[in-house]
Amino acid sequence: MANGNGNGNGNGAIIRMSGIRKVYDTGKIMVEALTGIDLEIEKGQMVAIVGPSGSGKSTLMNLLGCLDTPTSGDYALGGQNVSGVSRDQLAEIRNRRVGFIFQNFNLLPHISALENVEMPMLFGGVPVRERHQRAGELLARVGLGDRLDHKPTELSGGQMQRVAIARALAMNPDIVLADEPTGNLDSTAGSDIMSLFTELWQQGRTMIIITHDPALARRASRVVEIRDGRIVHDQVAAA
């Protein structure tokens, strides 16, 4: 495969979706969650995806992050067509190119913050010493240099989300995807997390953030609004 270094292909869209449909077949009924998404995202954009509950935001995030495959349509991530690849290949692409942040943090509860951040590197085959060192550096970068050995249950919500952000950065991904990242945080912790996202974006990361939070959406360079499985608004903020 041509793109071995995980850094996309220079200029141009890091994400290219065209005609993406997703139909869930529950056995009884078919739910058409996405009805035809055309979306291009440039490297270095910070995109907020907004829309009412049930509009298809999480479905879109799962497709963007290669956690799921579309019913039809084309998707290229970093110049690599991911529409037709096998499950194993998809998992490999996901681990290397995408960092995820979820509303519920999704940390492993019985291992330390450091070990949680190391997890993607373990799957990615990074040698143990490098893993330790990088995990420590990332936790220091999100302000948790003194919490390496704490388990998630010994941390506040805001601190848990910081661990999740450090973990999302572990494999130096092309894109960071966050699904309602401040949904379970109080306003102070939420605003700290927003500042951290802005910082990551200013360092050149491509950030895609699903949010109900108007304050978070306002920080984005572009706001994409979804309704009933389609994009109804797409606005780039004035520079």
Ligand X SMILES: Nc1ncnc2c1ncn2[C@@H]1O[C@H](COP(=O)(O)OP(=O)(O)O)[C@@H](O)[C@H]1O
3-state SS class at 125? coil
Question: What residue is closest to Mg ion based on CB?
Answer: 58
Residues at the interface with ligand X (CB under 6 A): 24, 26, 31, 33, 51, 53-59
Contact partner, 12, from ligand X, Mg ion, none, Cβ < 5-8 Å per class: none
Q: Which is nearer to Mg ion, 58 or 95 (CB)?
A: 58
Residue 158 to residue 191: CA distance in whole angstroms: 10
Residue 13 phi, psi dihedral angles, 5° rounding: -75, 130
Q: Where are the alpha helices (DSSP H) in 38-173?
A: 57-64, 87-97, 113-123, 128-141, 157-168
- For the chain, the residue count is 239
Residue whose tokens read 């799962």: 62
Q: Which is nearer to Mg ion, 57 or 97 (CB)?
A: 57
182 touches Mg ion by CB under 5 A: no
Single out the residue of 159, 125, 127 nearest to residue 143, CA to CA: 159
Q: Which is nearer to ligand X, 54 or 109 (CB)?
A: 54
Q: Quote the least distance from Cβ 226 to ligand X, whole Å.
A: 7
Contact partner, 95, from ligand X, Mg ion, none, Cβ < 5-8 Å per class: none
Give every CB contact of residue 216 below 8 A, 6+ residues apart in sequence: 48, 181, 182, 190, 194, 197, 209
Contact partner, 99, from Mg ion, ligand X, none, Cβ < 5-8 Å per class: none
Q: Which is nearer to ligand X, 8 or 56 (CB)?
A: 56
Q: Which is nearer to ligand X, 61 or 193 (CB)?
A: 61
Percentage helix, strand, coil, to 5, in the chain?
Answer: 35, 30, 40
| Segment 37 to 66, residues that bind Mg ion, using CB under 5 A | 57-58
> What residues make contact with Mg ion under the rule CB under 5 A?
57-58
